[in-house]
Chains A and B, each alone.
Chain A
Amino acid sequence: MNWLLDLTPDEWNAVRLSIKVATVAMIASLPPGILLALLLARGRFWGKTLLNGLVHLPLILPPVVTGYLLLLTFGRRGPAGAFLAEHFGIVFSFRWTGAALACGVMGFPLMVRAIRLSIEAVDRRIEAAAGTLGANPLWVFATITLPLILPGLIAGAILSFAKAMGEFGATITFVSNIPNETQTLPSAIYTFTQVPGGDEGALRLTLISIAISMVALIASEVLARRVGRRMDIE
């Protein structure tokens, strides 16, 4: 057991960084994820199929392609990257924030899908009932829709988190593999496998990676079940 927890500072940093990146990616994806899920579930507009395709793109494209596109757009010289750096001081390239962006983008389709399904399952007649009681559409969303889609929201968030924990291709392409800055768990494991005698470190980090993923999964199960029981939907 000791050898498992006896991590070098760099290894610890990779674990911490991965959790930070995955958490930020998940939380930052939630608002746009809910918005897009709403739009796709309920909106009726021209170009909906196109938008749906765009959202799902990271799922289909090779991660390297997604990472490269991110580099082109959000890199220092990319249009979005230059704008954000100049006006808001937000820099993505070769920073952990860039890793979070790459992970967020890669997990986005999974999150939107889970939330969209739960929105489509909401009985709109119950929302109409809230409307007749005086709640405007925003209140209806906050007090009826949101609580009713909570299980789907949790599922979507966990999927996004899990995807971020495992994301490798887009991250390494976009922000490279810099220890203490952009070296997440998968990148660190990859580095270990590239050097002689790195097997032990790779195995350690692999086991830690499995443990974190399992804990996240079990936590989401427990949470979803508790929410489900509280609601007791017929």
Chain B
Amino acid sequence: MTLSVDIHHLLGEFALEARFESAGRLTALFGPSGSGKSTLINLIAGLIRPDKGRISVDGRVLVDTAARIFVPMHKRRIGMVFQDARLFPHMSVAGNLRYGRWFTPASERYAKMDAVVDLLGIGHLLDRRPAKLSGGEKQRVAIGRALLASPKLLLMDEPLASLDEARKAEILPYIERLRDETKIPIVYVGHSVAEVARLASDVVVLSQGKVAASGATEAIMQRLDLLPAEERGEGGAVLDTKVLRHDEAFGMTVLASQAGEIRVPKLARAAGAPVRIRIRARDVMIAVERPAGLSALNILAGTIDSMKPGEGPEVEIGIDCHGAAVVARITEQSRQALGLKLGSQVFAVIKTVSFDRANTGAGLPAEADV
């Protein structure tokens, strides 16, 4: 899938001028509120018409103001999951799920009711009315409803924003399954680093209506300068790892990554399962020789490949650990005291307890494992 966007849209005083291409499994539109991400996703869905520009998916033009093309939303075959679920109150959950099927030509229906219901764990809700569902359940049904219209692209507009932390943790694994087990490309609007780093394969960073950067998640998450101020502390390296083994005695899981073994608090994942972890830059210490007599369990050897001044006294150090990029945020004073420069051989030190549910994939809830 290739999503190609080049639009210019005025909303009162606010100008959205976005131009990017993405071919990711899950592309995140990321930025602070008011940066234009929701407007952008509404433009892709066809809920609003751009003043000027062109949007195409896999070469199929959805809108092109120059050529006077505007495909109405009901003909786009683009699924949308809204922040506020928007289930039909006068239909049961099953009725909601079946709604899109009516309008999908039989030859293009690839989504199967049973499979989607299983994937989202909503089998026990089918006879209920939307008003009787919890926030997390509503959102799962909304995802199922969009999937069952067999869309060519799935848009998710901050589907977790209206949920509390516990509900978010309930939904996230389902979105991961969606990304890993179905073939539908996803465009996901988010404003939290934790969500985006965990879900996205590609990130488009929006700032004040403009694309500030776009690229692979691993690369973008290290650019701490791109992150919204209040989320900057959440930025850092994103590593794709696999579960190597569980250390039952100490309640830990050992992950295998390019950078070496990483110990994190125990995860509910089987050995061999992929786990994406985020190492916050502020959680990483740097040592110039392999430290001894230190409580931290994760010590990764690497070479400094970038140094950027950060906010105030800070400096951001990029470390290449056998091909895996790790970022550390330390003070300029420490950098000078250690004599760090490009090419220095160093050790990145990360405490196991700095990993929590937000930056390691928490396992699926028990009901979905069945």
Residues of A within 8 A of B (CB): 123, 125-126, 128-137, 139, 143-144, 147-148, 230-234
Alpha-carbon separation in the docked complex, A126 to B138 (Å): 14
Would you call B140 an interface residue if the criterion is a C-beta within 8 Å of the partner chain's C-beta atoms? no
The total of chain B residues at the interface (CB under 8 A) is: 30
20 contacts between A and B (CB under 8 A): A125-B86, A126-B86, A129-B82, A130-B88, A130-B99, A131-B46, A131-B73, A131-B74, A132-B78, A132-B79, A132-B146, A133-B74, A134-B104, A135-B99, A136-B72, A137-B74, A139-B103, A232-B129, A232-B132, A234-B130
B88 in complex: contacting residue of A137, A144, A230, A234, CB < 8 Å = A144
Q: Which of chain B's residues has its CB closest to A231's CB?
A: B90
**Contact A126-B131, Cβ < 8 Å, known A133-B103, A134-B74, A136-B74:** no
Alpha-carbon separation in the docked complex, A231 to B131 (Å): 9
When distances are taken between beta carbons in the complex, the residues of chain B under 8 Å from A133 are: 74, 79, 99-100, 103, 145-146, 149
Alpha-carbon separation in the docked complex, A131 to B45 (Å): 10
A44 vs chain B, min Cβ distance (A): 16
The answer to whether A132 touches B129 (Cβ under 8 A) is: no
When distances are taken between beta carbons in the complex, the residues of chain B under 8 Å from A147 are: 90
Alpha-carbon separation in the docked complex, A86 to B75 (Å): 45
B89 in complex: contacting residue of A139, A143, A232, CB < 8 Å = A232
The answer to whether A128 touches B47 (Cβ under 8 A) is: yes
When distances are taken between beta carbons in the complex, the residues of chain A under 8 Å from B100 are: 133-134
Alpha-carbon separation in the docked complex, A128 to B100 (Å): 13
Alpha-carbon separation in the docked complex, A125 to B89 (Å): 12
Q: Which of chain A's residues has its CB closest to B79's CB?
A: A132
When distances are taken between beta carbons in the complex, the residues of chain B under 8 Å from A125 are: 82, 84, 86
Would you call B223 an interface residue if the criterion is a C-beta within 8 Å of the partner chain's C-beta atoms? no
Would you call B57 an interface residue if the criterion is a C-beta within 8 Å of the partner chain's C-beta atoms? no
When distances are taken between beta carbons in the complex, the residues of chain B under 8 Å from A137 are: 74
Residues of B within 8 A of A (CB): 45-47, 72-80, 82, 84, 86, 88-90, 99-100, 102-104, 129-132, 145-146, 149
Q: Which of chain A's residues has its CB closest to B99's CB?
A: A133
B45 in complex: contacting residue of A123, A132, A135, CB < 8 Å = A132
When distances are taken between beta carbons in the complex, the residues of chain B under 8 Å from A233 are: 89-90, 131
When distances are taken between beta carbons in the complex, the residues of chain A under 8 Å from B78 are: 132
A171 vs chain B, min Cβ distance (A): 38
A60 vs chain B, min Cβ distance (A): 36
A227 vs chain B, min Cβ distance (A): 9
When distances are taken between beta carbons in the complex, the residues of chain A under 8 Å from B73 are: 128, 131-132
The answer to whether B74 touches A135 (Cβ under 8 A) is: yes
Alpha-carbon separation in the docked complex, A144 to B102 (Å): 14
Q: Which of chain B's residues has its CB closest to A233's CB?
A: B89
When distances are taken between beta carbons in the complex, the residues of chain A under 8 Å from B79 are: 132-133
The answer to whether A148 touches B89 (Cβ under 8 A) is: yes
Alpha-carbon separation in the docked complex, A148 to B322 (Å): 60
Question: A131-B73, A133-B79, A134-B149 given. 20 additional CB < 8 A pairs?
Answer: A123-B86, A128-B47, A128-B86, A129-B86, A131-B72, A132-B46, A132-B73, A132-B76, A132-B146, A132-B149, A133-B74, A133-B100, A133-B103, A134-B75, A134-B100, A134-B103, A135-B74, A148-B90, A232-B129, A233-B90
Q: Which of chain A's residues has its CB closest to B84's CB?
A: A125
Q: Which of chain A's residues has its CB closest to B145's CB?
A: A133
